Amino acid sequence: MKIAITGGAGFLGKKLARALLDDNELGVEEVVLADMVAAPDELTEDGRVRSVVGDVTDPDLLADAIRGDTDSVFHLAAVVSAGAEADFDLGMAVNLDATRTILELARKHGNKPRMVFSSSCAVYGGDLPDVVTDNQQITPQNSYGVQKAIGELLVNDYARKGYVDGRSLRYPTVVVRPGKPNKAASTFASSIIREPLQGDEAICPVAPETEMWLASPRTIVANTRHAHDLDGAAFGPWRTVPLPGFTATVKGMVDALAEVAGPDVAARVKWQKDPAIEKIVYGWPARLETKRAEAMGFKRDTDMQSIIRAFIEDELGGKVA
C-alpha cells in the first residue's frame, strides 16, 4: 500500500505516519509526507518514507506526492482558523484550491484512491441549538469553517462520481497538541495544559466557563485510521462524519491539570481575554450528539485527566516540570 499524507510533518501527520508504518498487517510500501518542512529523521530513517517539501498550493508538489499508484491520501494540510481569518486569500488557496487540486489529481489518475479529508466542527456556527445533532445544518461563521465545508462537499461529490473513495471527518478541538502554539483560535486549549506541564506560563483568552468539544491525539489518530479502513459503503450517500468528542469547560480542563500535576502547575495558567479569539471560539458548538459516528465504530475520549496523563506519557517522557 502506498500512502500520501499532506501536512505530513505536522503533529497529526507524524503520529499517523508512525501508526501506519508500525502496522504490519497493512503492508505499507511507501508513506509520502508532504509538508512545508521536511519530515523528521525519526520517520525518514524508515526506507519506506518519502519526504516531499513544498507548498500545497503548488500543483507540482501535490502531483509529486500523489501519483497514479497512490492507494490512500490523508489530506491534513490546512491554514487553521485564525490564520484563514487573517489571510483570506491564503485560506482559500490552501483550504479550498489545494483540496480541489488533490481531487482532480485522483480523478486524472483514475485509480480511485481512498482519501480521508480532515474537516472541522468550525463548519457549525451562528445560532446553534444546545446539542448539535448529525442532521445540523452547517452555518460557518469563519472562513476556515467555510473552506472546510466546501472541501466536504467536493469530497462527497467526487466520491459520488467515482473519482475518489473519499470520506471527511469533522474533528473536535484536539487536546493536548504537542509542540508550539499555532494560528488556530483553539490553540490555547492545548497551551493551557502543555506549557504549565513544562514549567511555563500559558494565557487562556476565553472565560473559565467556556465549553469546548474535545478529543485527544490518540483518539484522533485512531479515528482517522478507522475512517480510512472502513468500506466506502459504510458511509452511505453522505461521506462526512462529525466525530465523537467530549465536552469540558476550560476551568474543568485546568482543574484536571491540577488533579494530575498539582495546583502549582495549574496556577501557571493566566486568564486574559482576547475578544478576537473569544468571538471565534464562542461560535463553535460544545455539545454534539454523534450517533452516526458511534454506530460506525468511531471512538470517544471520556475525561480530561486521562488525556493529560497520556500527553505526559507520549510527549514528556513521563516527566512534569
Site string for its own copies, 229-248 (x = CB under 8 A): -------xxx----------
Q: Does 279 bind its own copies (CB under 8 A)?
A: no
* 116 CA to centre of own chain: 11
- Quick check: 314 binds its own copies (CB under 8 A)? no
Least separation in angstroms between CB 141 and its own copies? 6
137 binds its own copies (CB under 8 A): yes
- Does 156 bind its own copies (CB under 8 A)? Our answer is yes
By three-state DSSP, how is residue 60 classified? helix
Out of 124, 144, 163, 171, the active site residue is 144
Nearer to its own copies, 83 or 140 (CB): 140
Cα dist from 274 to 141, 174, 204, 205, 279, whole Å: 18, 20, 9, 5, 9
Q: Which of 134, 211, 274, 314 binds its own copies (CB under 8 A)?
A: 134
State which of residues 70, 143, 210, 224 lies at the interface with its own copies (CB under 8 A): 143
Distance separating alpha carbons of residues 77 and 168, to the nearest angstrom: 13
Name the nearest CA neighbour of 115 among 169, 52, 186. Answer: 169
C-alpha cell, 90: 491564503
Is 144 a residue of the active site? yes
Closest CA to 271 of 148, 188, 183, 167: 188
Residues 6 or more apart whose Cβ sits within 8 Å of residue 236? none
Interface characters, 27-66, with its own copies (x: CB under 8 A): ----------------------------------------
Question: CA 201 to CA 261: how far, in whole Å?
Answer: 14
The catalytic site residues sit at 144
What residue ranges bind its own copies (CB under 8 A)? 88, 125-127, 129, 134-141, 143, 146, 149-150, 153-154, 156-157, 160-161, 236-238
